[in-house]
Amino acid sequence: MTSLPTLAPPLSRLVGLLPKPPASVALTLLARRIAARHPEIVSRLGTHVNASFALDPTDLPVVMILTLPAGEPRIRLQKDASGADCRISGNLSALLALVHGAVDGDALFFSRDLVIAGDTAAALALRNAIDNAELDLLEEIQHVAPPLGRALAPIAAAIERQTGVALRRASGVY
């Protein structure tokens, strides 16, 4: 395993207290905005567009279930990965590093920092689609809610410096 940081237990418990329905709506809106800005993500899923994906940050008490009915992303927070076709699990920093291209996805898998269960082909299709889109989640938030994005930028930079967690797209790959 690599030395990716994990979320502190008090912060993890705090996340667990967030009401799931409003958080699910906010994540769904962000996911739809990302899909609108990067339609190739949905098209690259190909035959796996109807799969359900459990994104499981193991250092948080919630699992994000991503579905794409009619190509429209929907994220539902729940306690476990039940009902999903595939599960991608690892600590939050590993999942964010994958999204932001800060660490090679294959290296995360072979080091067991990420674990894939269920429909592996669907999980790899999602990983490849996200990797190809070269996402920067803070940039995406900036497009959805510019004031929030501007407010988060210096906070995110400080967190990155202190923890090593990739909260923005890596400038150089790996």
Distance between start and end Cα atoms, the chain:
16
111-122 mean pLDDT:
95
State the pLDDT at residue 137: 87
Q: pLDDT class for 172, splitting at 50, 70, 90? A: very low
pLDDT at residue 134 in the model: 92
CA neighbours within 13 Å on the CB side: how many for 3? 2
| Torsion sign (Cα): 84, 88, 92, 98 | negative
**In the chain, count of helices (H) and strands (E)?**
8, 5
**Is 63 or 158 the better-scoring residue by pLDDT?**
63
pTM of the model: 0.87
CB burial class (10 A; 0-12, 13-18, 19+) of residue 1?
exposed
